[in-house]
Each structure stands twice: as C-alpha cells, then as structure tokens.
Amino acid sequence: MSKRSKTTSNSELPSKSIKVETSKLLEHFEKSRNECCSRGILEFPFIKKRARIISTETNVKKGSKGILYWMNRDQRVQDNWAFLFAQKLALKNRVPLHVCFCLLPKLADATFRHFKFLIDGLKDVEEECKSLNINFLLLLGSPEEKIPQYVKDEHIGGVICDLSPLRLQKEWVENLKSSLQKDVTFVQVDAHNIVPIWEASEKKEYSARTIRNKINSKLSEYLTDFPPVIKHPHEYKGEINKIDWNQALDSLECDRSVTEVAWAHPGYQNGCKVLYEFCDARLKLFADQRNDPNEMVVSNLSPWFNFGQLSCQRAVLYVKTFSKKYSKSVESFCEEAIVRRELADNFCFYEENYNNISGLHEWARKTLNDHRKDKRSPFYTENELEEAKTYDDLWNSAQIQLVNEGKMHGFLRMYWAKKILEWAESPEEALRIAIHLNDKFSLDGNDPNGYVGCMWSIGGIHDQGWAERSIFGKIRFMNYQGCKRKFDVPAFVRRYGGKVYNK
C-alpha cells in the first residue's frame, strides 16, 4: 500500500466514437452559448445578485488600464459567472482583461495528485485565454502577497474573485481587501453554486429538508444558460511572461508519493467527456443502482466539479435534457448535484468549525461525549488505516480504491468514515483521520462535500438521532452485515483485493 501506483478505473481511455461524440457535445455547448447571447456578456442580462461588492469603492475608477479576475475555485474559462462578470466590466470600461491564479507551494493535505490535476487544467485555461486575447498569468505565492503589487503595476481598476466557503480562502479575500488600494473595486461572484450561496439562505441550514425548497424555488431564475466569453477586443500591450509550468511543479512542497490516477484526465474537455459517458451509458441506471458500488453507474464528475474545471450548472442543464427518457434518474442527479452539494457549501459558509467537533449539533456533541470512554476493540492507528490493515476486508478494499483511484463510492465512504469512528481512540481523532485520508488521496478532497460527508458520518450533521449504542451514541450506525444486504460485498472485495488482518 505504500507505493502509489497508477491504476485504471472503470473509465478507460476514450474510444474513437467517444472522442467524436465528445467533440459534438463541445460544439453543442458552444452553440448553446451563442444562441443564449452571441455578442457576449455585455449584452446579457447578468443577474446582479450573483455578485457582491466587497470593497468600499463601488465603481471602476477613471483612467484604469485593466480588470483582473483572480481565479481560484472555478478553474475554467467558459460557463464561469465570475469570468463573465470580469469581462463585462472590462468591456464596459474598454480595457484589457487579465486573469491570474495564485499557486502556493503547500495547501492543506493536497498532494502531487491534486496539484498535477490542477496545473494541467490551468494549462488549458492559459491556452484558451490566449486564443481569446486575454492575459493569463500564474503567480507563485499567496493572493495577498502577489495581487496588490500586480494591481498597482498594471493600474488595475477592478478585481473580481470567485467564491469558496472555506476558512483559508475566506481569509485570503479579507486580507486582499485590506491590501488593495482603496480606490480599487473588489467584487466576489459565486460561480460555483447555481443559486448564489448568499441568496439560497441567510443562515446555516439544519438539513436537506430545510434548504431544498429554498434552492428549488429559485432555479427558474438562476438555472439559465451561459453567454460565451468572447474574444476580448482590448488587447494588453504590456510584457507577457511565458509561464514555466515545470518550475511551478518544482516549487511544490507536497507529498509526491501520491501520484496521478489513470482514469481521470484534467481539464474542461475531459470533464465533458466524462459527462457524455455518464449520460450515454449510466444515467438511465442512476436512480435505481447508484448506491451499489459494484454497478459503477455514478457520474464520476466530482473531480472536475471540485477543481471548477467543469461547471455543475452546465452539467445539470445537459442532464436535464434527458428528463423525458430518464425522469427518476435526472431527479436523483439534480438532488445530489444541486441540493446536497449546495447544502455542503451552505454549512461551510455559515459554520466556522465545519471540520471539527465544535461544528456539530449540540445533541451530537453530547452523545459522542457520553460514549467517549466506551471500549474500542480493536483500536487502529492512523498508519494501519492508511495501509488498509484492519480485520474488515470491505473497509480495506474501499481504502485501497481511495488510495489507488483517488475516489471512493459514496455509499462506501459513509461506511468507511463510520468504521473509523468505531476504531479511533476518540471522536476528534476519528474525524481528523477521516478528513486527512480523504483530503490526501481523493481528487474531490479538500472540499466542502468531503468535510460535510465526514461530519455527517461521524457527527450526524444534516441527520437526526438514532437508537443509542456503544461508541456511536445516537449517531447513525452502519455495519458489514447491512452492506451485505445492499450489494455483493465479496464481489467488491475481489475487485480491490482487501485482505483480513487480525490484531
């Protein structure tokens, strides 16, 4: 288990026919944008509630020489409301449009697997920006260190950023607000959620039940098609430094033992390929078989959503074109991609302690504390768990899938996290280990969905109390026998080779 080798998952390299169909899908999306508004964002009725002004200055100052989009969470050109808003400002003020990404050498538990996926996706962004007469630059360092000087040097009049609900990214925004010149407009646009996070709800929601109607009732307003980012008519005349991507990779101070995976290729076009494969072959089975890890009918889109290389809104618009054929599957997909995903963002946005015990409901903290001294037998160390050396061959197989493929089936991820609670020395340690392993290996780690998934499994977030039992208290319980009733456990174990290790 210590060697992180490349393995092939259920998504193989595309056949010629899939390449052709993906190309058609890309053309379809381009046509949809042009039909929406061929002249671009300046003529499009942009919903102002998607954006919020962070600075005290509300207008772009006269004499400005450019607009800057600080790209962070949404790493794509098309179908990106933050990018579109930045171009709208640049067109309105007849100035060049700049786009930057700030690359830090280390970021939480992100490994080489994550950084390589990110950087290869940004290479595509650079090429597309170049074709659209937009200046893209990679800044090595934190936003508050690098952006203010660039804004000053280039006489930038407005800075646009996308939204992340996580603490560190919120700190970046606040620090940048303090570091920018006071006459520079600073605006944030939620380009990740379909319904902007501040419009969906003004508070932390208790569960999917309490937020579902708030989101669904606003989809008629927000679930629209996108206009295109057009070739920018105002060219940047300054010096453009060629990005040294090898230098960027060399600058990383991350765990390089966790390598790339074979099944997931970064970038917008590859995300569209996976979307096509899902709708063509698996969507029809999604409603009835998505909770069976052996059937492999899930969308597999979470890495591209996580890195913002594919817009979830674009994916939903396309999936909904199959509503007449696969109504139940489309409904199930939208529940997960819209309601559940945006509920996770809501939790992290309004709950500062989104990844620790302090963020749990009072009943959950109490019940876990009441059972804190219950005997753990066996007890496993973090290293034993990472190496998949437990007595549970199903759990070990799920861990092997996570390590080798950078993903884990959603149903098994719940079971996986709950067993860590059962085996770890305390609820705090269980949550820490689950989040660490998920963030270290999963391509959709370091993300609100991952934090909320672990908090749900271990701490009952967005859930209710259940029958009380040892260790778990009133937290929902899952066990091996329950999994056997759901799917063919031996078949899954055979696929990934989890063994039984007795202590």
pLDDT in tens, 326-349: 999 999 999 999 999 999 999 999
Q: Residue-wise over 83-107: b if at least 16 C-beta within 10 A, else e? A: bbbbbbbbbebebbbbbbbbbbeeb
- 39 pLDDT band, cuts 50/70/90, is confident
How much of the chain, in percent, has pLDDT values that exceed 70? 97
Residue 256 · residue 111 · CB < 8 Å:
yes
Q: What is the DSSP letter of 42?
A: G
**Residues 437, 385: contact at Cβ < 8 Å?**
yes
Domain 22-350: give its CATH code.
3.40.50.620
Residues 142-197 pLDDT 10s: 999 999 999 999 999 999 999 999 999 999 999 999 999 999 999 999 999 999 99
pLDDT at 250 over 80: yes
Terminal CA-to-CA distance of the chain, rounded, Å?
A: 18
pLDDT in tens, 208-242: 999 999 999 999 999 999 999 999 999 999 999 89
What is the pLDDT, as a whole number, of residue 6?
39
Q: How confident is the model at residue 15 (pLDDT cuts 50, 70, 90)?
A: low
pLDDT in tens, 411-441: 999 999 999 999 999 999 999 999 999 999 9
Residues 298, 409 contacting (CB under 8 angstroms): yes
| pLDDT of 5 above 60 | no
Q: Mind listing the pLDDT tens digit for each residue in 48-73? A: 999 999 999 999 999 999 999 999 99
Residue 13 has pLDDT above 70, yes or no: no
Average pLDDT of the residues in 19-47: 93
Backbone angles phi, psi at 102, to 5 degrees: -100, 115
- Asked if the model's pLDDT at residue 8 lies above 80, the reply is no
User: Would the pLDDT of 3 be above 50?
Assistant: no
Task: Give the CATH H-level superfamily of domain 357-496.
Answer: DNA Cyclobutane Dipyrimidine Photolyase, subunit A, domain 3 (1.10.579.10)
Mean pLDDT (the chain, rounded) = 95
Domain layout of the chain by residue ranges = 22-350, 357-496
pLDDT for the residue 19: 86
Residues 6+ apart with CB under 8 A from 301: 271, 274, 275, 278, 310, 315
Percentage helix, strand, coil for the chain under 3-state DSSP, each rounded to 5: 50, 5, 40
Cis peptide leading into residue 378 (ω within 30°): yes
